[in-house]
């Protein structure tokens, strides 16, 4: 922190001497970002861009902060601004794809990931994100192939194993999927994503007791894990245990009061109780 304070003092001195220095504004923005002052950092990057329109690094840094703040539309605009002058900029293509995926614009995200892979074939991170977008589009054969390519270079990647398992499960290849989940959890026993993907797969196979154990295991270690609570609630409702399901949904609504999916699921379980089921 002291180092950043010293750096900030230097940048302030530079800006007093040369108020239009895009480098000083940009460097100041980086220090502000490092200390968690993101709004001020954005202002510094904007001033850098006023001094030097189209500056690649200012646009990339600004876009990255906007993406962290879940302002993905604005982030995409920053990355597009870089790409307008540098169409093959790998960092902009990849980050643009990630932000588009966050906005559920997966076809556009895939186009960005493909372009990034043209620049850096076999890139681990791009392949991983491409696989997730393919899975979101229910293109699970292609998704599994992407995760296989990740695993060729990083065989111990527990997340790639978990998400490959998810796609194999969706394809009905449950035995292979369970092997993937097991391998992921062997490498990283605390990987809640792997355990939850395993729970979903077990539920699809009607192995309800094992699925419930997975959900409960995650909830014990992460009491506020919304996905685990929701998955458990849905499974309880499927088993006609609607009172227990409602308790899960109520816990979720304490943590995320406006979640429309949970509100809808709770209403459905309450109606089933009124009808005498569960």
pLDDT tens track for 200-219 = 999 999 999 999 999 999 99
- Cα angle value 114/120/125 (rounded, 5°): 75
How far, in whole angstroms, is CA 103 from its chain's centroid?
A: 11
- Reported as a single tens digit per residue, the pLDDT across 68-90 is 999 999 999 999 999 999 999 99
Retrieve residue 172's tokens: 């009905």
Answer yes or no: pTM beyond 0.75: yes
Cα distances (angstroms) measured from residue 26 to each of 16, 30, 58: 15, 6, 6
What is the C-alpha to C-alpha distance for residues 6 and 161, in angstroms, rounded to an integer? Answer: 44
263: CB partners within 8 A, 6+ apart? 253
Half-sphere exposure of 198 (CA within 13 A, CB side): 28
Q: Helix-strand-coil percent breakdown of the chain, rounded to 5? A: 80, 0, 20
Of 74, 39, 38, 70, the closest CA to residue 59 belongs to 74
Mean pLDDT of the chain: 93
How far does the chain reach from its first CA to its final CA, in angstroms?
56
| HSE toward the beta carbon, residue 173, CA cutoff 13 A | 14
Q: Check residue 275 and give its pLDDT.
A: 78
pLDDT the model gives residue 21: 73
C-alpha 246/C-alpha 265 separation (Å) is: 8
Residue range 127-162, pLDDT digits in tens: 999 999 999 999 999 999 999 999 999 999 999 999
pLDDT in tens, 94-109: 999 999 999 999 999 9
3-class secondary-structure state, position 178: helix
pLDDT at 9 over 70: no
């Amino acid at each position: 922190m002291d180092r950043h304070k010293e750096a900030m003092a230097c940048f302030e001195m530079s800006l007093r001497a040369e108020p239009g220095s895009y480098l000083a504004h940009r460097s100041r923005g980086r220090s502000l970002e490092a200390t968690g002052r993101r709004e001020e950092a954005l202002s510094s990057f904007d001033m850098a861009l006023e001094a030097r329109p189209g500056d690649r690094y200012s646009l990339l840094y600004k876009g990255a902060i906007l993406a962290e703040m879940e302002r993905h539309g604005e982030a995409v605009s920053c990355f597009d601004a870089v790409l307008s002058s540098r169409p093959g900029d790998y960092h902009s293509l990849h980050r643009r794809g990630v932000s588009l995926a966050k906005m559920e614009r997966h076809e556009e995200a895939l186009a960005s990931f493909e372009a990034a892979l043209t620049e850096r074939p076999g890139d681990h991170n791009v392949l991983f994100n491409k696989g997730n977008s393919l899975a979101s589009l229910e293109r699970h054969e292609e998704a599994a192939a992407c995760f296989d390519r990740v695993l060729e270079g990083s065989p111990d990647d527990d997340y790639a194993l978990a998400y490959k398992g998810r796609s194999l499960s969706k394809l009905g290849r449950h035995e292979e999927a369970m092997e993937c989940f097991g391998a992921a959890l062997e490498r990283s026993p605390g990987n809640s994503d792997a355990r939850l993907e395993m729970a979903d797969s077990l539920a699809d196979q009607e192995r309800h007791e094992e699925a419930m154990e997975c959900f409960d295991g995650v909830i014990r270690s992460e009491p506020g894990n919304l996905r685990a609570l929701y998955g458990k609630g849905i499974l309880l409702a499927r088993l006609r245990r609607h009172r227990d399901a409602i308790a899960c949904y109520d816990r979720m609504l304490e943590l995320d009061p406006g979640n429309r999916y949970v509100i809808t699921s709770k209403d459905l379980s309450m109606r089933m109780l009124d009808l005498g089921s569960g």
